[in-house]
Amino acid sequence: MTRVTKETSVRVELNPAGGEISISTGIGFFDHMLTALAFHAGFGLRVKAEGDLIVDGHHTVEDVGIVLGQAFREVTGAGIERFGSAHIPMDESLGFCAVDVGGRAFLRFDGAIPDGLIGTYDASLSKEFFRAFSANALISLHLSVTGENAHHMTEALYKACGVALRHACAPRKGGGVPSTKGAL
């Protein structure tokens, strides 16, 4: 999937069955978070993004979330477990993620990550990334985090999301659509 605007150029290749992880957004900590998410999800993921980082990282982070969400929606569907959740500790921090890959977009984000930069990554952008990802993936995503250190809190969230997605995307025993309605 590709998205090109006056502010960014983003290309994402996503393989839910695994593979190479290669991330380049120009924002080192964000690259680290996307790598952690993909690794813990068991996904192959390539991201190449160029953005107006001279302004700040907002457009790049949000647009990567949009394109990653679109790619995720394309490669998931019937035959998966649908639901997943995980608690991930990172030192004093505890991140939680619950996901429903059910075709309805929703984000619940609870937790006050301290403002400021983690490297060149604005800590407030995590919510923006997850909002863009969930809206474009058409998934319900519930995230919460407690802690004191913005680095630990952010990393706990991205890892929890990865583990929850791994569980949700696991093959469903007996296959079929994971809904009593018979459709998502």
Q: What is the CATH number of the domain that holds 162?
A: 3.30.230.40
Average pLDDT of each block of 10 consecutive residues along the chain (184 residues)? 98 97 98 98 98 96 98 90 97 98 96 96 97 98 98 98 97 75 65
- 137 falls within a domain: yes
Half-sphere exposure of 153 (CA within 13 A, CB side): 22
Look up the domain containing 73 and give its range.
2-168
The structure's pTM equals: 0.95
Tell me if 65 sits within 8 A of 127, measured CB to CB: no
- 29 falls within a domain: yes
Strand partners, 21: 45
What pLDDT score does 78 carry?
A: 74
What pLDDT score does 178 carry?
A: 66
- 56 falls within a domain: yes
- 31 falls within a domain: yes
What is the number of structural domains in the chain? 1
Spatial distance between the Cα atoms of 152 and 123, rounded to a whole number of angstroms: 11
